[in-house]
Amino acid sequence: MSRKLLSILGLILLACLLVGGLGTGGVYYWLYDLPQPKATSQQLFQGVSYERQVVQSPRPMVVHIVTVDLRADGIRLLVTPGEPRAAQSLKADTTSGFLQKYGVQLAVNGDGFTPWHSNSLFDYYPHVGDPITPVGFAASQGKVYSQGSGVEPVLYVSRTNRASFNNPTGAVYNAIAGNIMLVAGGRIQSELIQSVSGDIPQPRTALALDKSGRRLMIIVVDGRQPRYSQGATLDDLARIITAHGGFYGMNMDGGGSSTLVMEGKNGRPSLLNSPIDNHIPGRERPVGNHLGIFANTVD
């Protein structure tokens, strides 16, 4: 092998080591040294407000709360459309991908799904476009594409934005499932929460309604980023729901799936939270279905 070729190979190896080191250093910084952001609140769209809470107790947490006035002008909801006659009714997509594809102004991850595995950055399923099946009941614009097992809690939203948990108002229009009810009738479901493995802080997603059913709350808690945000237990999540006036609320798919995205000023997706998939902060996981919000811009 010539000295020139050896020199070129050495330069390539050095470049790879530098890039790898910078990448590892960047991930380490995000996980362990990135400071928490400032608390904030703002009107994102007509009828859609956003609040970011930053707390240190009982552990570092960054909590994102979106409140949607379901009776505001221009508000419409969309659950990811699926194909009921297919063996697997959905094709996986990131939350940002869903937002762009359907032109919604806000989007959050939804129900759990199968199959799924995440062994490494090079060994995971699904990728974007891979077929999957949602775990629970699901419907989009009047088309039911998953029956689920019948035990999962479900948020139903009618064509006229009448929202309710577990009992649809009129014909089924949009529906998306979670895994357990966290709050029912204004009461935290402590026994139910204790019956599942929910005492470890994790990234979380929840959907909730106030007593009137007019206000929909979308709550996402960042996690697995020790100094920035360690995550919430299910009891933490239930208490966040009730603290913001939630009368009913259910837990959604969480962990690396928890993602909250809005349409930015340039029309492109803009992350509101800090998702973490495959131990990489800011990386979005391709998931099954989503809940999207159409809304008018703020005057």
Q: Is the pLDDT of residue 268 over 60?
A: yes
Range of the domain at 277: 37-294
In a shared domain, residues 144 and 241: yes
Residue 202 has a pLDDT of 97
Using DSSP's 3-state secondary structure scheme, residue 193 falls into helix
Indicate whether 299 belongs to any domain. no
Note whether 87 and 218 are same-domain residues. Answer: yes
Task: List, in order, residues 6 or more apart from 79 with CB less than 8 Å away.
Answer: 110, 138, 139, 140, 157, 174, 175, 176, 289, 290, 291, 292
Is residue 95 in a domain?
A: yes
Give the pair of three-digit tokens for residue 192.
Answer: 């139910």
Worst-scoring range by mean pLDDT, 21-25, 130-134, 184-188?
A: 21-25
The answer as to whether 90 is a domain residue is yes
In a domain, 202, yes or no: yes
Q: What integer is the mean pLDDT of 151-157? A: 97
Name residue, tokens 């064509």: 159
Q: Which residue has the higher pLDDT, 6 or 168?
A: 168
pLDDT score of 70 more than 80: yes
My answer on whether 26 and 120 are in the same domain is no
Is residue 186 in some structural domain? yes
Based on the fold, state whether residues 237 and 160 are members of the same structural domain.
yes
The residue-averaged pLDDT of 251-259 equals 98
The predicted pLDDT at position 172 comes to 98
Pick the closest to residue 259 from 99, 128, 114 (CA basis). 99
Same domain, 18 and 98: no
Indicate whether 5 pLDDT > 50.
Answer: no
pLDDT above 90 (res 295)? yes
Q: Are residues 8 and 82 in the same domain?
A: no
Number of domains in the chain: 2
Residues 240 and 202 in one domain: yes
Q: Same structural domain for residues 112 and 217?
A: yes
pTM attached to this predicted model: 0.90
> How far apart are alpha carbons 143 and 134 in whole angstroms?
14
Considering the domain architecture, whether residues 151 and 66 belong to the same structural domain is answered as yes
Q: Say yes or no to pLDDT of 88 above 60.
A: yes
Whether 26 and 147 map to the same domain: the answer is no
In a domain, 164, yes or no: yes
Residue 26 burial by Cβ neighbours in a 10 Å radius (0-12, 13-18, 19+)? middle
One domain, residues 111 and 136: yes
Residues 28 and 44 in one domain: no
